[in-house]
Structure 1
């Protein structure tokens, strides 16, 4: 008597019929950006006036070349005191982070939430072929999830 293999009826593969909510649907497209040769004092003033904690750094062709944040500015302030460096002649390129984690415009908000959790970042620039096209923040993901809940979560 041989062993018979029995495979029951295969269940239909369940597909999610909901429309994915993409980063591009919630990212900010109008951004405050900075230039690498911009004076660091001007950046500090802009961050204060706009009540933001940082922003992308782009070259003249809108290629993303870095990011400057309030954390980087703490370095500026520390340098000015401990190394007696005048802040006035320092530029964005002296302090910006050149290794920038970006997120794809087609990523869904759940991927974005996971990236925010793993990285600790507050924002991700969104690029297309190296060009900055937007930025998504933690708050944008929360807004997207709230909208999703209204539409889909019961």
Structure 2
């Protein structure tokens, strides 16, 4: 089975100029755990992850490196992860699952010609079910 068979579309994304408040409203309103950060033509610039938002909101004062002081007006660009690896829509689902688990990634943007065309999440993988497993010799 391929990534394109189970990826979520259409993509819910934000731009680097969006505020953290706007991004949190999208995350909580849609019940998702991360947002691709895209440029004007849909190219992937970064990834905003709820884990980073929680760390910045509740633990920045105790971070020995200073952390990012979070306000609702902070721009997404201040907190997004980069660089971000994406998956190709024709990638093998089992291979991507192994990479996601090894790296602790709950979601991965799906890229075609550098543009975000979908997102694959743990929920997508679970919905794919047992038929998505590659047969092992």
Map of 2:91 onto structure 1: 107
Structure 2 unaligned regions, length at least 5: none
Report the Cα distance in structure 2 between the residues aligned to 1:118 and 1:102, rounded to whole angstroms: 15
Map of 1:33 onto structure 2: 13
Q: Which one has a bigger Cα radius of gyration?
A: 1
DSSP 3-state at the match of 1:66:
strand
Map of 2:22 onto structure 1: 42
Q: Is residue 20–residue 71 contact of structure 2 (8 Å, CA) maintained in 1?
A: yes
Structure 1 unaligned regions, length at least 5: 1-20
Map of 1:141 onto structure 2: 125
Aligned CA RMSD, in angstroms, stands at 2.3
Q: Is residue 109–residue 120 contact of structure 2 (8 Å, CA) maintained in 1?
A: yes
How far did residue 70 of structure 1 move? Answer: 0.8
Report the Cα distance in structure 2 between the residues aligned to 1:113 and 1:148, rounded to whole angstroms: 10
Report the Cα distance in structure 2 between the residues aligned to 1:36 and 1:45, rounded to whole angstroms: 15
TM-score when normalising by structure 2: 0.82
Map of 2:100 onto structure 1: 116
How far did residue 148 of structure 1 move? Answer: 4.2
TM-score when normalising by structure 1: 0.74
The count of residues paired between Structure 1 and Structure 2 equals 129
Instruction: Select 1:59's aligned residue among 31, 34, 39.
Output: 39
Q: Is residue 112–residue 141 contact of structure 1 (8 Å, CA) maintained in 2?
A: no
Query: With CA pairs under 8 Å and 6+ residues apart, which has the higher RCO, 1 or 2?
Result: 2
